[in-house]
Every structure is written in structure tokens, then in C-alpha cells.
Amino acid sequence: MELRKKIGLLFGPLFFLAAYFSPLLKENPKAHTLLAIFLLIVTWWITECIPIPITALLVPVLITVFRVASVSDAFAPFANPIIMLFLGSFILAKAMSVHALDQKLAHSILSLKFIVQKRSRILFALGLTVVFLSMWISNTATTAMMYPIVLGILSAFNSGTKGNSVSSLNLIFLLMIAYSASVGGIGTPIGSPPNLIAIGMLKRLAGYNITFFQWMIIGFLVLIPMYLALFFFMKLKIRKQDIPSRVKKDFSSAIQARPKGLTRPQRNVLIAFSVTVSLWTIPGLINLIFSILKKKPPLALWLQEHFPESVAAIIGASLLFILPVDLKQGRFTLSLKEALRIDWGTLLLFGGGLSLGFQMFETGLADSIGRFFISPGTSASLSLITFLSIALSVFLTEVTSNTASANMIIPIIIAISKAASISPLAPVLGSAIGCSFAFMLPVATPPNAIIFGSGLVPLTKMIKYGFWLNIMGIIIIWIAIRLLAPLLGLI
């Protein structure tokens, strides 16, 4: 067992006992007990001494055992509509993977003739493909799918180059797909777990309702400049060498040799995906159009009431079991066995985090933490709190999962904002996006771990490049959330 895990396994219970038998918050027994549980869970999340989803399951168990809340209240967040939104999107993503629709899209983009002319164009197209895919499916699945494609491209390149150019290309292209997957995840609410954690906690704990379309607009304010910064940063690292004509020809032929057209299962997945995305985005588009015309959109309101995001996701997932591939043989687009192979661990972590966050406010623990950092009535700068929230989220995620980071940080940020009498919207949005922008270490995100496992990415290079991208990310998020979004009336 790793030293970090051994430390967590020992210190987690010690922190729990120290807090439980201390005089802290004795005037509020439930908050006092929840503080002890919070310290245990956070320690185990950071050190990963036991699997993070299992730790999340212990949250409602401990809350119930120590009488902080009833069993129904403790487990209720596991049936939160946002969990259903993620469940539906995970099933849709699994169908895309099973029937290789994501690979089809990637190869279709790379088969464009003008792209293969320069390395920088291929780098840009690869990154953009990864960004788009990770908006809709997990960054882990996106990176795992693009990884062999990139290795094939590098093999073609390396046959025409020698020496340091080979290792430089390997490093740049592999880091590009990993970092692009993290950047793309902020583009939609379902792109990365912290996005939905922020939406859920803002709605429940602060009374802010952010729609799918609103998140996309805010997310793109960060995504576009961050992707451009990432691309130009990586482009500077590529040696200025032309691709030999033979390599161009071989690469182009290999890509274009892929089968043309869509199979029946791929068409079915595309139908289900299109229906879902339409239900997610059409109400927001209608609201945007009618706001310009200064009229009330009854259709958008009707769609939001009858087809909220979670319902739309389940409708799309259900279509996969209805649209047939072969009626005679009773084959449909997705089988139950295939659907059950989704990432259940993330759903459990999501539910446990929501349960802990909700109880922190129900018991008053969050208010006590907020008053600890900022005394009631003390003036505090919204810009400073937003910046610190972003920076803390980015660097905390370097050592623990982004979902765990969001679950730990967001309730505290909301509490601190309330104590400072400022809106928690900007700090929470900045924090949630920051949780996806950890680029330095292999343990920070699954995409980092996947490409580091190739053996082609030195740790020192990942830390060096990742540090500067972390700094760029913090600055870009702060400008977008604190300056651009309010200027456009988004927050």
C-alpha cells in the first residue's frame, strides 16, 4: 500500500476522534458530529486509502448511525434529479462507445485533406475533436478512445523524423489530448461531475437555478480562450519541420481507408443523442430569442416543465432500448448488459457529496465554517473570494479527484459567501470549472494518468507544462466569470 494511503487510513479515524471528543461546536451537537464525519471523509477522499466511491457511500451511513439526520434524508440525494441526468448521459455515452460513433466522428474530422498538410493543423483538429467529445462523454472515455488514434498518428510521423523531434512530438500530442479532454469537460453540465455538483448545490443551498443552456454559454466563455491558449502553448513546442510527402500520403490513406457512412446502430445512437441534446438546449435558445424580442416564451416554459434536463436524459437513454437494430432477432441499439457497464462509482461519489453538502447546511456546520473564515458583517471582495476559490480548486484537484474536490469546496464557498454577504454564484462557478483544470500531475485527472501510462510523457515535463497551464486557467476563469459573464448579464 502506498504511503499516502497508509497515512490516510490512520489519520482519518484520528481526525474523527479528535473532532468528536473536542469542545468544538458543543452548542450544536449535530454540527459537531458532522464536523468529525467531514474530517474523516475528506481525509479518505484526499488520500484515497479506500476507493473514493465507497467513502462516499459511508457519508449517509455515518450520518444515519450518529443521528445527524434520518436515513431517508441521508440517502435522498442519491435520487436527486441531477443523478438521473448523469445516469442518462452515461448510458448515451456508453452507446456511442459500444458502436464506435465517437471514433467515427474523430476519423471523419482527421480525414479532411487540408488538415494533414501541417502538424499544427493535425494538433488543432485532434484537440478540437477531443474537446467536442468530452463535452458529452467522460474525459476518461474520450482520452482512452483517442489514445490509440494518436499513437497511430505518431507512428506515422516518427517514421519520417529522428532524434529529439520524435520524443517532442510524442509529448506534445499526448499532452494535447489529455488537456483538451479536461478543457472540453466544462462546455456542458454533463461534461464533468463538478459542473453538476455546482448546479445542484447552488439550487438547493443558494436558490440559483442554472439551466443547461445557461451553463453552456458560461462554459464557452472559458472553454474557447482556454483551448486557444492551450493550442498556441503546445504549438510553440513543436519543432518547425515539414511533414515528408510520403508520411502525408500514408497518413491520409490510412485515415480515409475507414468505412464510409453510418451503420444502423450508429444512426440509432445519433437519433437518441440528437433528441436529448435538443431537449436540453431548445428551451434556452427559445428564451434567448424571445428575450431579444422582449416577449414571453410559453413554449420554452412548457418544455422546461414537462422535459427538464434529467427527464430528457432518461428519455434519450430509453430510446436506445427501443430503436431496433434487428427486430427478427430482437436486437436493439443497446443491451442491458452493455448499459450496466457505466461508471457507477461517479454516481455514488456524486450522491455522497450531495448528501454531505446538504447536511452541512441543514445542521449549520457550513455557517460555522463560513463565520470561522469571515466574521458576519465583515466586508469582503467578491473578486478576491472568486480568485481564491478558483486557485484553491485547481491546486487541490492536483492531489484528489475533481468530483471529491468539488464536494469538499463548494459547500464551504457558499457558506463563506453568505457570511461575507456576497453572491456565491461567481465563486462557485469559478471553483467548479477550476476543478477540471488540474494539469500538473498524473493523479490529478484520469486523462493525465492515461497518457502518463504510455511511458512517453516524462513527469518533469508534465509538471512543467501543467504548471503554466494551471496559471493560465486560473487567470482565464477569473476574467470570464468575474468580468465577462456579468458584463453579458449571465450572472
pLDDT tens-digit readout, 281-321 = 888 888 777 766 666 678 777 877 888 889 999 999 999 99
125 beta partners: none
* Average of per-residue pLDDT across 146-172: 70
Angstrom distances, CA of residue 491 to CA of 85, 91, 173, 318, 406 = 23, 31, 36, 34, 20
First to last CA, the chain: 46
Cα separation, 205 vs 184, whole angstroms = 27
SS3 325: strand
Whether the per-residue pLDDT at 167 is higher than 70: the answer is no
Residue 75 makes CB contacts below 8 A (sequence gap 6+) with: 60, 351, 355
Residue 470's CB is within 10 A of a number of other CB atoms, namely 21
The pLDDT of residue 163 is 52
Summarize pLDDT for 64-115 with one digit per residue, the tens: 999 999 999 999 999 888 889 889 988 998 898 899 887 787 777 777 777 7
Whether the per-residue pLDDT at 245 is higher than 60: the answer is no
The pLDDT of residue 244 is 53
The secondary element (H helix, E strand) that includes residue 274 is helix 264-293
The pLDDT of residue 291 is 66
The pLDDT of residue 450 is 84
Which is more confident, 127 or 292? 127
SS3 331: strand
CB 358 within 8 A of CB 18: no
Summarize pLDDT for 425-447 with one digit per residue, the tens: 999 999 999 999 999 888 788 88
Q: In sequence order, what E strands does 320-421 have? A: 324-326, 331-332
Phi/psi of residue 331, nearest 5 degrees: -100, 130
Whether the per-residue pLDDT at 347 is higher than 90: the answer is no
Q: What is the mean pLDDT of the chain?
A: 85
Phi/psi of residue 169, nearest 5 degrees: -65, -45
- Domains of the chain, residue spans: 82-339
